[in-house]
Amino acid sequence: MSDKIKIIINDQELEVTAGKMLIEITDEVGIHIPRFCYHKKLSVAANCRMCLVEVEKAPKPMPACATPVNEGMRVWTRSEKALSAQKDTMEFLLINHPLDCPICDQGGECELQDLSMGFGGSSSSYQEIKRVVVDKDIGELVSTEMTRCIQCTRCVRFGEEVAGMREMGATGRGDRMEIGTFVEKSLSSELSGNIIDICPVGALTAKPSRYSARAWEMLQSPSIAPHDCVGSSVNLHTFKNMLTRVVAGENESINECWISDRDRFSYQGVSAVDRVKSPMIKQNGIWKNVDWNEALEAVAEKLKTVRKDDVNVLASSQATLEELYLLQKSLRGIGVNNIDHRLRQTDFNDQESMGLFPWLGMTIPEIEQQDAILLVGSNVRKEQPMINHRIRSAVIKNNAKVMCVNPFEVDFNYNIESQSISSPADMLLTLATIAKASISLSKTKPPTGLAELLKSVRVNGDAKVIAENLKSASNAVVFLGGLSVQNPNYSVLRALAAVISENTDATLGYLAESANTVGAWLAGVVPHRLEAGNISEEVGKNTAEMLATSSKVYLLLDVEPEFACDNPQQAQKAMDEANCVISISPFASDKMLSNADIILPSACYSETSGTYVNIEGKWQSFRAAAKSFENARPAWKILRVLGNKLGVRGFDYVSSSDVRDELQIACDSVSGVNNAFEVIGRYSVSKPAEDSVDDKNCLYRIGEVAEFCGDSLQRRATALQKSDLKQECIQLSSTEIQRLSLQQVEDGSVNVNVNVEQGGENISLPLLVNNLIPDGCVYIASGTQASSVLGSAFGNITINREKTV
């Protein structure tokens, strides 16, 4: 591969790698060749013919994207022959392209517009009628105007090669060929929005931001995406201080040039109707707008006067590192230790054995080099779309064997070696068999704490194969995902995963929920650790303890308890019984207005400077793209003033980077990150309540966080919400529907409602057949409006047949 050859482009002598395409070379050295169908991340199609260049001894111009370089090759990219070929191609491309640039969203940032200016002629020989293509609705996110399509097929290739599911295609032939889905259907890929970025014309544009601003009127600010643990690069576009759209940024080592739909369209939440305009205090049940000083005085007063153990602090791990650090520093400064960000976790038995932070165990590109990957409790495609993209690359480029232990079958977009499915309660048994197999494979002894559990299971063939696959791979990894963290036996799953990784020489890695989960650990927003992982002398209460028994004061940093916590009923009860709830949040829903007593309006991620630490441990800082909404303030500034009002020392920061630098210095002294830990102590297994086992209507709920309900911003992004109607459905397998004698429904239809009861609350939701759900379980996503009155996301739930119509 490293063979170097000499070629001459436009009389410039170059030493280049043999076998590369001409266009790759010219891009590298900065010689511009016009193109539409070529995209560096997609296969070569060579169908637009725009990149024709003159090559010595070739009788006709050659497409630069499909012409490999050869020793001694001479190329002219701007000779008369090349330019005339490009000009003629442009004339052909424009034959059927409408002249509707003034009303086209792509106008001003259109590759066709730009290249026709640079390489096209000023008139056309074509006098006949242009063709028209009838549009089809392909969902809430992407708007189509297929008459504008020049059939470069980038979107088609993207679907096949990157998204891993072909949804777009070229139907018909000749002058009647059309790009589309053929039948009317919504795109279902979690990466579908990227076809907007790669479409060189205005055929595919962003539906939510359609007609809202012209390209040249918007300001672009680079930022970091807030909705998963990788921290993709994004560009925020603002128009008149309004966040108008988000497009992908480039960062080869993180997101290459793609972003998830979640990161692209969540921005709509920034202009939600329930943004808070001013600090508010509730007096005798009536909300009153107050100035910042009065509000912060009231908060400080409240925090100073109560017993410190009565103060509970819950923070979103989507908050910036600076916010989380100042929150921790100010509250710990007055002696509050009840502080946590692990809102959906319920099993905290092993928190002491956690490393500095949950770490991926490698860099993101290194995922592609893995030969065997075991996913433990992860619907990775929906949870972490960019990680899933890397795993897919590992499968395709590296023939990686991907195996998973999950509570339901996941619809992967690549070939899977095996899926071990068991109900959430039995997941640990499945994992234990694999652990046992790995122990016998490496002929070691089981850790005493797990001996009893491991004794109770028998190794089967499947488990053996999984352990062998991991052991025989030169690069293997065991990833713990979100469905593990939410599992009532998370500590046991984690210990078993550690046993497996140790005995198979696999890396242990975590796929954390949020953009700044790692940052929250580093900032010390956990009850047992201070900043930079320093051990706290006093161990405070964790989330479960804070919500299990009600307490006097709750301080919430961008937390909506009914959506963000594992058990909404329990969280609501805690809020009801508290005598003061303080919320620092950009939003105030009706629920929040009834729960809270003081509301401090904070800025959204696009309105504040800050830092996210991604799952690799990479610190990425960003600046505000727009001013804060009305009288809201960046939360780090709110907390800076609060720290001063509480009389805590060292709150003289001028900018958010001062805060970051202080923490960075503290973190620099900490030695390397390591996920490995010794499995010591006794592990107890918690089981679902026995009393309901006999009830045939009682099922185990799988309460995965709905794809677009992970945080307050996404829940307010209207297009995303409309694009996933399945999230508010009760999903059961057809055998389970039959067993419960519920009315059978057809695949995909949602016209039968089923009533369920959990913790005394009843809700009715449409029934959806999903045969990927195991028997004995029912899938009801958490984080949704409907499930915000239910109990634990993973626990027993009863089907109410009498109330079901």
Partner 1 sequence: MTILSRHEQKEIDSWLKRYPEDRSQSALLAALSAVMHEDHYLSTEKMDAVADYLSIPKIAVYEVASFYSMYELDKKAAGKNTIAVCTNVSCMLNGSDKIVEHIEERLGIKLGETTPDGEFFFKMEEECLAACCGAPMMQLNHVYHENLTPEKVDELLDNVISKTKKMSGEEANNG
One DSSP character per residue, 262-316 reads HHHHGGGGGG-TTB--S-EEEETTEEEE--HHHHHHHHHHHHHHS-GGGEEEEE-
| Residue 576, Cβ density class (10 Å: 0-12 exposed, 13-18 middle, ≥19 buried) | exposed
Sign of CA dihedral 17, 23, 27, 33: positive
Choose between 310 and 417: whose C-beta lies nearer to partner 1. 417
Choose between 40 and 397: whose C-beta lies nearer to partner 1. 397
Minimum CB separation from partner 1 for residue 174, in Å? 9
Nearest to 142 by CA among 188, 84, 192, 191: 192
Structure-token pair, residue 745: 């429904």
Q: Pick out residues in 141-200 that bind partner 1 (CB under 8 A).
A: 165-173, 181-183
Minimum CB separation from partner 1 for residue 180, in Å? 9
Choose between 154 and 342: whose C-beta lies nearer to partner 1. 154
Choose between 173 and 458: whose C-beta lies nearer to partner 1. 173
Task: Give the C-alpha separation, 276 to 169, whole Å.
Answer: 45
Choose between 170 and 539: whose C-beta lies nearer to partner 1. 170
Minimum CB separation from partner 1 for residue 138, in Å? 12
Minimum CB separation from partner 1 for residue 177, in Å? 8
Whole-angstrom CA distances from 624 to 110, 238, 559, 631, 767 are 27, 11, 21, 16, 43
Minimum CB separation from partner 1 for residue 170, in Å? 6
Contact residues for 536 (Cβ-Cβ < 8 A; gap 6+): 332, 337, 524, 527, 528, 529, 530
Minimum CB separation from partner 1 for residue 186, in Å? 14
Minimum CB separation from partner 1 for residue 157, in Å? 13
Structure-token pair, residue 363: 């860099």
Minimum CB separation from partner 1 for residue 25, in Å? 33
CA 721 from centroid of its chain's CA atoms:
15
Nearest to 120 by CA among 79, 87, 81, 80: 87
Minimum CB separation from partner 1 for residue 522, in Å? 44
| Residue 99, Cβ density class (10 Å: 0-12 exposed, 13-18 middle, ≥19 buried) | exposed
Task: Give the C-alpha separation, 540 to 366, whole Å.
Answer: 37
Task: Give the C-alpha separation, 195 to 320, whole Å.
Answer: 30
Choose between 46 and 168: whose C-beta lies nearer to partner 1. 168
Sign of CA dihedral 727, 730, 732, 738: negative
CB-based contact 355:673 (threshold 8 Å): yes
Minimum CB separation from partner 1 for residue 554, in Å? 50
Task: Give the C-alpha separation, 265 to 269, whole Å.
Answer: 9
Minimum CB separation from partner 1 for residue 185, in Å? 9
Choose between 169 and 681: whose C-beta lies nearer to partner 1. 169
Choose between 121 and 172: whose C-beta lies nearer to partner 1. 172
Choose between 185 and 739: whose C-beta lies nearer to partner 1. 185
Contact residues for 67 (Cβ-Cβ < 8 A; gap 6+): 21, 22, 53, 55
Q: Determine, following the binding rule CB under 8 A, whether residue 411 of this chain makes contact with partner 1.
A: no
Q: How many residues bind partner 1 (CB under 8 A)?
A: 12
Contact residues for 331 (Cβ-Cβ < 8 A; gap 6+): 303, 311, 313, 339, 555
Minimum CB separation from partner 1 for residue 406, in Å? 22
Choose between 178 and 597: whose C-beta lies nearer to partner 1. 178
Report which DSSP code applies to 350: T
Nearest to 204 by CA among 165, 162, 248, 149: 149
Choose between 189 and 255: whose C-beta lies nearer to partner 1. 189
Question: Per-residue x/- marks for partner 1, 322-361, CB under 8 A?
Answer: ----------------------------------------
Choose between 73 and 745: whose C-beta lies nearer to partner 1. 745
Minimum CB separation from partner 1 for residue 210, in Å? 25
Work out the angle between the directed axes of helices 448-455 and 490-504 (0-180°, nearest 10): 100
**Other Cβ atoms closer than 10 A to 789:** 16
Structure-token pair, residue 583: 């919320």
CB-based contact 535:528 (threshold 8 Å): yes
Question: Per-residue x/- marks for partner 1, 528-567, CB under 8 A?
Answer: ----------------------------------------
One DSSP character per residue, 558-578 reads S--HHHHSS-HHHHHHHHHH-
Choose between 134 and 286: whose C-beta lies nearer to partner 1. 134
Choose between 134 and 273: whose C-beta lies nearer to partner 1. 134
Choose between 111 and 167: whose C-beta lies nearer to partner 1. 167
Minimum CB separation from partner 1 for residue 130, in Å? 21
Minimum CB separation from partner 1 for residue 176, in Å? 9
Choose between 169 and 365: whose C-beta lies nearer to partner 1. 169
| Residue 283, Cβ density class (10 Å: 0-12 exposed, 13-18 middle, ≥19 buried) | exposed
Minimum CB separation from partner 1 for residue 746, in Å? 12
One DSSP character per residue, 624-691 reads -SSPPSTT-B-HHHHHHHHHHHTT-S----SSHHHHHHHHHHHHHTS----------SPPPPP---GG
Minimum CB separation from partner 1 for residue 171, in Å? 4
CB-based contact 321:613 (threshold 8 Å): yes
Whole-angstrom CA distances from 708 to 345, 557, 768 are 19, 20, 18
E-strand spans in 40-156? 52-55, 62-63, 74-76, 142-144
Choose between 134 and 654: whose C-beta lies nearer to partner 1. 134
Positions touching partner 1 (CB under 8 A) are 165-173, 181-183
